[in-house]
Structure 1
């Protein structure tokens, strides 16, 4: 199979027929063998009923329905496991991504040998309250990851099959799949300017909280990518530094006290009367705890067995 089109959705009943017809038209015109894999992320409207109707008309349609809303990352992770295409295209269900971009994305993966080609919505139809924070997050992600993409959060992306079968997407890490892929060893990441269309049906499903979550996810993915397999390098280094500074301060206080005693010089303040003593004590305790945390982290697998366990209500093949 040439292409798997992965489409997470939440309450998009109006757009699904038009989107499916459009994708089918593009695939037939270009002679691609394909599948459309919908993941219904706990919709409360008639999205699943619409998908069932589309299945009768388009055999390429496959679908997974979550019992409740888990989020876009969960939907992508399950879809990636189920996809069979040599190239996987992800896109949103709201018709803001154009299926006409698919042939060029596919060509760049197959002919130019990219691992990932990420869409760049250079001209956007979003309000300024969304575009400015997005620009800031993109700049921060470029700086921290070293990946020179202008639009990390664009839903329209193309992946080589090996990439999606290797990486794991959890939490709300879908924004940083290129970063996850890079840490997994896939370094050929390209970008393509794509059309951004104004929303035709419904309303956006993302609120202000996604910006806070985005920043926290960025810190998380940076830490996991850097130190997941060597947490002692992070916690141990901080622990040793804190312990060392605390010990130096404590030894200095003791040395000063002993010097005054041996030289018979009056020294009115006890060691425990000085704020530096308590700062040194806290630094030693914190340093020991961080060092022990590093040891524990080395023993704990970062892949919890239940982290990507989702309740699937229905599935179509």
Structure 2
């Protein structure tokens, strides 16, 4: 199979028929063998019934329904697992992504032997309350990830080589940083393509202001996991040892000063416990010990995270 199109959908019943018809038209025009995998993320507006209807009319349309709303990352992760095409395309269900971009994305993945192509919505139809925070996040992500050639990490329209989606894990709100996840997994042929951004035709956006806070926290998480996920002791342990050594040196300095004064019959004006430096040293030693133990425990935990991406799937077709 040439192409798998993975479409996360949450309450998008109005747009599914038009989107699938548009994808079908593009695929047939270019002679691609394909499948459309709609991941119903716990919709309650009839999106699943519409998916079943589309499957009966077009067997290429397949569907997976979550029992409740898990979020876009969960939908993409399950869709990636189900995809069979040599090239996997992701796009939103709201018709803001154009299926006309698919042939060029497929061609570049195949001919240029790329791992991932991220869409860049150079001209957007979103309000400033959405575009300005998005630009700030993109700038921060470029700086922290080292992927300087991407302008829009969060664009829903992306193309992947099959091997990529079978070897990455998407959870939480990490769908915003899939290029970063792919890079940490060892896939470095990541490029960008300017794509059309269309105004929303039906319904309203499903993302609120909280996504910006969650996005920033997930950026910090992915930076830490990417660098230290397999070796947390290197992070916590190094800080712990440094803090412990600093505290120990300060404590020895205080004790050495007192012993020197005693040996030279110098009058001691205050006890060790009366000095603020003593308590700073004590805190540094305790914090250092805790950080070291945290690194040790994290090493054990990192080896047993087998159920992070288990979701309750209610129905499946195709």
Alignment TM-score, normalising by the size of structure 1:
0.99
- 2:54 maps to 54
Q: CA deviation at 1:305?
A: 2.2
**In 2, are the aligned partners of 1:228 and 1:302 still within 8 Å (CA)?**
no
**Bigger CA drift: 295-304 or 244-253?**
295-304
Q: CA deviation at 1:150?
A: 0.2
**Bigger CA drift: 100-109 or 50-59?**
50-59
**In 2, are the aligned partners of 1:94 and 1:201 still within 8 Å (CA)?**
yes
**In 2, are the aligned partners of 1:8 and 1:39 still within 8 Å (CA)?**
yes
1:31-54 deviation per Cα after TM superposition (whole angstroms, max 9, x unaligned) = 000000000000010111111111
**In 1, are the aligned partners of 2:230 and 2:302 still within 8 Å (CA)?**
no
- 1:122 maps to 122
- 1:96 maps to 96
- 1:270 maps to 271
Alpha-carbon distance change, 210 to 9 in structure 1, aligned in 2, over 3 angstroms: same
**In 2, are the aligned partners of 1:122 and 1:193 still within 8 Å (CA)?**
yes
Q: Does 1:232 align with 2:215?
A: no
- 2:136 maps to 136
Alignment TM-score, normalising by the size of structure 2:
0.98
Q: Does 1:172 align with 2:180?
A: no
RMSD: 0.8
Counterpart-to-counterpart distance in 2, 1:135 and 1:302: 36
- 1:111 maps to 111
- 1:82 maps to 82
Q: CA deviation at 1:299?
A: 2.0
Counterpart-to-counterpart distance in 1, 2:222 and 2:102: 28
> Helix, strand or coil for the counterpart of 2:14?
coil
| Alignment map for 1:161-200 (pairs within 5 Å) | 161-200=162-201
Counterpart-to-counterpart distance in 2, 1:303 and 1:81: 21
1:46-67 deviation per Cα after TM superposition (whole angstroms, max 9, x unaligned) = 1111111111211100000000
- 2:280 maps to 279
Q: Does 1:68 align with 2:40?
A: no
**In 1, are the aligned partners of 2:117 and 2:158 still within 8 Å (CA)?**
yes
Counterpart-to-counterpart distance in 2, 1:67 and 1:300: 29
| Alignment map for 1:201-216 (pairs within 5 Å) | 201-216=202-217
Counterpart-to-counterpart distance in 1, 2:155 and 2:124: 11
Q: CA deviation at 1:5?
A: 0.2
**Bigger CA drift: 255-264 or 66-75?**
255-264
Q: Deviating runs (4+, > 4 A) in structure 1?
A: none
**Structure 2: which 5+ runs fail to align?**
none
Counterpart-to-counterpart distance in 1, 2:225 and 2:269: 51
Counterpart-to-counterpart distance in 1, 2:304 and 2:254: 46
**In 2, are the aligned partners of 1:54 and 1:61 still within 8 Å (CA)?**
yes
Q: CA deviation at 1:21?
A: 0.4
Q: CA deviation at 1:124?
A: 0.3
Count matched residues: 317
Q: Does 1:22 align with 2:22?
A: yes
Counterpart-to-counterpart distance in 1, 2:32 and 2:303: 39
1:106-139 deviation per Cα after TM superposition (whole angstroms, max 9, x unaligned) = 0000011110000000000000011010000000
Counterpart-to-counterpart distance in 1, 2:180 and 2:146: 9
Counterpart-to-counterpart distance in 1, 2:300 and 2:204: 45
**In 2, are the aligned partners of 1:41 and 1:71 still within 8 Å (CA)?**
yes
> Helix, strand or coil for the counterpart of 1:37?
strand
Alpha-carbon distance change, 302 to 174 in structure 1, aligned in 2, over 3 angstroms: farther
- 1:222 maps to 223
Q: CA deviation at 1:303?
A: 5.3
**In 1, are the aligned partners of 2:36 and 2:62 still within 8 Å (CA)?**
yes
Counterpart-to-counterpart distance in 2, 1:197 and 1:299: 47
Counterpart-to-counterpart distance in 1, 2:10 and 2:297: 39
- 2:13 maps to 13
Alpha-carbon distance change, 51 to 187 in structure 1, aligned in 2, over 3 angstroms: same
